[in-house]
Structure 1
């Protein structure tokens, strides 16, 4: 009987799709992520179901949209959140039952009440806690002063969070590989989430003077929801010009390249142990980051591609053909669970909200594959604010039930600067997108359309 494949999933935090070499866009060097993409499939239209860390990660654990299990925002910041509990479904348990040894390293956030060990992971390293102890013991007198905007990290690269984590991941791979059973390991980097603190040599890899201005930096907020301009005031960045942002973006680039270098060390461990051909490798991120895009910081209250579009690369030598690019819309944390279960011969539960990517990985596009991505948002530390987005190849519609809606013609305005929601020439496409969004939300059991109070906005275009 053929041995089941090992599974290595590397997930980062707030990594923009366009800040990878494989995207061919901004000049960020990511040779190791690019290698995963080149030796397998690179997805050009992968979207997060909710661009906030905890809900997106919870969705990955159970394979369902965040609102369906009460994960509306990160726990403990706005209001208590009914995130996953130990009794909820986890596909890692299905792997465990199929004979896998499971390990989890790094950022969690999927449950406020239970650790990964309650969801099918045999080993869990709380990297934030353990690394903080390691750093405090080795560098007791150092403290950061740059706040959310970041600064260089003076410690040697091997003692930085990225490379320390890579060392722990390599050790866990060696440990589980030595036990003889197939294994699954989730490695979760906290980077490039702000504040960005690259160490040498990555702290100076990118010259701020040479960092290109984001194409969306010309944002004027004309005809945009009020809350977007308010975000500048919330963060105290309303006066920032590009020369203020360029060093911040350079550090964002730098920490991405530093993380990529750490990923290279994990891939090297696989190679050293002779496991490359026996291991499926997946790289992705929970969501993106503004980092000056549309002149804003971090995330929240917007559905721009800076945030909702994510990198996704999948490699399995000898099974997935190399150098494939897939342009189909995928919901990465929803589609990966059924894909993984199909790989190991297990049936996906009916409650999943995604579908298997295997046809796409085989170069096929099913006739009934989705033609749009849907992402949602509910608010965070600066207040509650409901948003629902649907994005096709040509258009993006953002439903803001308590503010002005947004409609972007992506063919003529790919950087989402001009809101055409009030343009009479867009009436028909707007109505069609509203109806399609409603149907998707209804099917997923989204509470925002559970009653009839708001249906008129989407189905009868009763929206100013």
Structure 2
């Protein structure tokens, strides 16, 4: 087995040496390269934080991190679904490039991924929590090798929404284990142990929590007791007929968030106590948001603010000379990887499509972040065609507007400054005729540049060999 692993690493190393643009390489000593900690939540919308003004939940530790960080307040999930987000995070590619545009499909095991690149640069790499990018059964063992995309340390499971004593796999052991209690707590403790293990090399660690994704009522009692359904203040775009159910669900959602907030505090304090905060980049984000009744819907996929907007906080050590504060650039999922490489002083592989925002963060380049693309290639699951009227779309998000079209033409246009709850669709409004035409022109130009023909979802399913059931969803496979 070790011979096979050695051969794999050797081949990968040679490949990486020839796949990176050396002109982008910065000469940085390995001992001076920063640690990287990526903290992922599942389905945490930006609006559900104290710093973003949520009236129901207090998040003092997340707010403290925001005050220390560069806050990309216009960050979006380009395809607001878990597996596509993870694929873009790890590869810096858009979904129609890496072929991951639905849940429960596998990212190419030969992908040039974050874990592989950092491992090649001498980092010890680790992944803890929800993986959801292997596509071979939600609780099956993922063996060491390319299916782990370069992550060496491993305490993870493909996917579960049971957050208490759920299954995970510990490094090379194919025997399933269970977290002792609430996953978010146990996984955080495992992350702190990994961070504090003695090793001269810097680390890249992805801590991937499953919360606050539904089920909303499964947080520890201490946190559930903090929120009463009858006290919840709902967003004005939640239909009155849904208020009773949404209040109940959102109270549980906030309970998960309050628990997350405590764990953010625990991570920051641990890094401080062990003198690592000053040399650790922290990214706090989410794969997508949760509608939670807004626009009469739940969960994700749809192009509304509650679905696509994600927290995007970059805590950057003072030594890198980048000031904290709010940034207005529109930031997308595929931009995380190249920006981290830029901040780490590392070469960016040619396969990466996202933007390296380091120069922007340093105040040297304001040409980026004016707009980005949001996409639904094939609606499925909670937004399937038969029951939920799901449909393909392509959209352009700017610092002010959201413009979306489906296969039949223009669908949505919102002025997000004037209408933050997106309750007034301006499509074909005479006063916005020129703005709509400009956004359509810009969207068309971006799609052409990306090689996106915007065809029906069936075309892409056939192209990538993806099989779906009657609801357009990839069945949960069990291949070991």
User: What TM-score do the two structures reach when normalised by structure 1?
Assistant: 0.80
Name the CA shift for 1:216/1:17 in 2 (closer, same or farther; >3 Å): same
- 1:18-52 deviations in whole A, cap 9, x for unaligned? 11122134432222222221112112111111000
More off after superposition, 344-353 vs 40-49: 344-353
Structure 2 distance, partners of 1:288, 1:136, is 23
1:172 aligns with 2:194: yes
Structure 2 distance, partners of 1:42, 1:260, is 17
Name the CA shift for 1:320/1:20 in 2 (closer, same or farther; >3 Å): farther
Name the CA shift for 1:134/1:401 in 2 (closer, same or farther; >3 Å): closer
Q: Which structure 2 residues correspond to residues 419-438 of structure 1 after superposition, within 5 A?
A: 419-438=425-444
Name the CA shift for 1:251/1:361 in 2 (closer, same or farther; >3 Å): same
Structure 2 distance, partners of 1:66, 1:19, is 26
1:64 aligns with 2:93: yes
Name the CA shift for 1:424/1:132 in 2 (closer, same or farther; >3 Å): closer
Structure 2 distance, partners of 1:285, 1:245, is 21
Aligned to 1:16: 45
Conserved 8 A contact 1:108-1:116: no
Aligned to 2:181: 159
Q: Any runs of at least 4 consecutive aligned residues in structure 1 with deviations exceeding 4 A, and if so which? A: 113-117, 127-134, 320-323
Displacement of 1:320 in angstroms is 5.2
Displacement of 1:322 in angstroms is 5.3
Aligned to 1:293: 294
Aligned to 1:232: none
Aligned to 1:186: 206
> What's the secondary structure of 1:267's corresponding residue?
helix
- 1:163-194 deviations in whole A, cap 9, x for unaligned? 1111111122123xx12211110000001111
Structure 2 distance, partners of 1:213, 1:182, is 44
Aligned to 1:336: 336
Conserved 8 A contact 2:164-2:183: no
Aligned to 2:375: 376
Structure 1 distance, partners of 2:432, 2:161, is 52
Structure 2 distance, partners of 1:135, 1:3, is 39
Name the CA shift for 1:116/1:417 in 2 (closer, same or farther; >3 Å): farther
1:263 aligns with 2:264: yes
Aligned to 2:396: 390
What is the aligned counterpart of 1:400 among 393, 396, 406? 406
> What's the secondary structure of 2:351's corresponding residue?
coil
Conserved 8 A contact 2:33-2:345: no
Structure 2 distance, partners of 1:410, 1:14, is 21
Structure 2 distance, partners of 1:351, 1:85, is 13
Structure 1 distance, partners of 2:114, 2:205, is 13
Structure 1 distance, partners of 2:162, 2:239, is 39
Structure 2 distance, partners of 1:296, 1:105, is 31
What is the aligned counterpart of 2:127 among 81, 94, 104? 104
Name the CA shift for 1:116/1:74 in 2 (closer, same or farther; >3 Å): farther
Structure 2 distance, partners of 1:31, 1:158, is 27
Aligned to 1:283: 284
Structure 2 distance, partners of 1:199, 1:312, is 26
Displacement of 1:60 in angstroms is 0.7
> What's the secondary structure of 1:215's corresponding residue?
coil
Structure 1 distance, partners of 2:165, 2:308, is 33
Q: Which structure 2 residues correspond to residues 136-155 of structure 1 after superposition, within 5 A?
A: none
Structure 1 distance, partners of 2:48, 2:442, is 30
> What's the secondary structure of 1:38's corresponding residue?
helix
Aligned to 2:476: none
Structure 2 distance, partners of 1:30, 1:158, is 25
Structure 2 distance, partners of 1:399, 1:247, is 33
Aligned to 1:86: 109
Aligned to 1:348: 348
Name the CA shift for 1:67/1:115 in 2 (closer, same or farther; >3 Å): farther
Aligned to 1:312: 312
What is the aligned counterpart of 2:233 among 209, 212, 218? 212
Structure 2 distance, partners of 1:320, 1:215, is 41
CA RMSD of aligned residues (A): 2.7
Matched residue pairs, number?
A: 401
Conserved 8 A contact 1:438-1:449: no
> What's the secondary structure of 1:339's corresponding residue?
helix
Structure 2 distance, partners of 1:130, 1:23, is 29
Conserved 8 A contact 1:26-1:212: yes
User: What TM-score do the two structures reach when normalised by structure 2?
Assistant: 0.77
Aligned to 2:472: none
Conserved 8 A contact 2:81-2:288: yes
